[in-house]
Amino acid sequence: MERNAAALEADFARERTALLFSGEYDERPAILTISAGAGGTEATDWAEMLLRMYLRWADERHRWKTEVIDEQPGEQAGLKSVSVRVQGRGAYGWLRAERGVHRLVRISPFDAQNRRQTTFALVEVMPEVDDDVEIELDWDEIRVDTFRSQGAGGQHVNKTDSAVRLTHLPTGIVAQSQNERSQTQNKETAIRVLKARLLERALEEKEAELRRLRGEHVEAGWGNQIRSYVLHPYQMVKDLRTNVETSNTQAVLDGDLDTFMQAELERQATTGDGA
């Protein structure tokens, strides 16, 4: 009986996983981008905190390979934006639950008067595109710019125009890479990011159309606040979509995210939301 119960539980777990990760691109690696919102140094520091959180989640919790492919440092501290490739089976399936605005409330370490500050960062997630996915690029519609790398990357940084920025003129989508060793490598990475952004745009448009057909209100961009991280006057991380919450804020910031992600994926599977 115990074996039968265990087998049934294992079958249920497999069926549940198959349901949560049934999207066309869920098994693919992901490209994660974090952008600081308004708020100066407080916002750029929050973006860097989120980067640390996701790197620890991927590296330590899932043993996946991560690679920072582009980063724009803040003026005093932190990061204005950063893009990371997360290479692992199911990376996009997990991380798509994190798309949206993340809100931080704390006593700012950058405020001499020790006032409580609220700041925001935007998390975007795209499936990495393989050659078998048909995303055609028309180079007549793409502007290619080269510039000197600003981040860490070796002796070539700030000495040669090795960084590459691609701008898709019809949509305004920008993809860039500056952490590879050569301009050719950076261009190849930027092309991969651009294809991923174009694919994600197509998925978002499809999702928005389905919501419109269901009669739901569609709101994009910074209005999509998904989670609050409150460090003062109390300790609480709460997901506003699923109401999952915990007072162990340090564990979450150290990468303990699976409970939040799984709850959101289950919500999406139930409601039909998500890509």
274: left (phi over 0), alpha (psi -120 to 50) or beta: left
pLDDT tens, per residue, the chain with 275 residues: 555 665 555 444 455 566 788 888 899 999 999 999 988 899 999 999 999 999 999 999 999 999 999 999 999 999 999 999 999 999 999 999 999 999 999 998 988 888 899 999 999 999 987 765 678 889 999 999 998 876 544 444 445 688 999 999 999 999 999 988 899 999 999 999 999 999 888 888 877 776 666 565 444 445 668 999 999 999 999 999 999 999 999 999 999 999 999 999 999 888 877 65
Predicted pLDDT of residue 221: 46
**pLDDT at 159 (0 to 100):** 54
Give the phi and the psi of residue 266 in degrees, each rounded to 5. -65, -40
Q: What would the two tokens of residue 139 be?
A: 């180079």
**Taking a C-beta distance cutoff of 8 angstroms, is the pair 97, 264 a contact?**
yes
Mention every residue, 6+ apart, whose C-beta is less than 8 A from residue 257: 53, 54, 57, 61, 98
CA 100 to chain CA mean position, Å: 8
**What pLDDT is stored for residue 220 in this prediction?**
42
Return the pLDDT at 39.
Answer: 80
Q: What is the 3-state secondary structure (H, E, C) of 128-154?
A: CCCCCCCCCCCHHHEEEEEECCCCCCC
φ, ψ for residue 75, nearest 5 deg: -70, -35
Cis bond before residue 233 (omega within 30° of 0): yes
Q: Helix, strand, or coil here: 171?
A: coil
pLDDT at 153: 44
| Residue-level pLDDT at 171 | 92
DSSP 8-state class, residue 23: S
How far apart CA 246 and CA 261 sit, in angstroms, is 13
pTM of the model: 0.81
Coil, helix or strand for 185? helix
Q: Classify the C-alpha dihedral 239-244-248-253 as positive or negative.
A: negative
Closest CA to 203 of 84, 25, 20: 25
The residue to which tokens 């981040």 are assigned: 151
The domains of the chain, with CATH numbers, are: 2-137+219-271 (3.30.70.1660)
CA atoms within 13 A on the CB side of 136: 2
With beta carbons less than 8 A apart as the criterion, state whether 173 and 143 touch: no
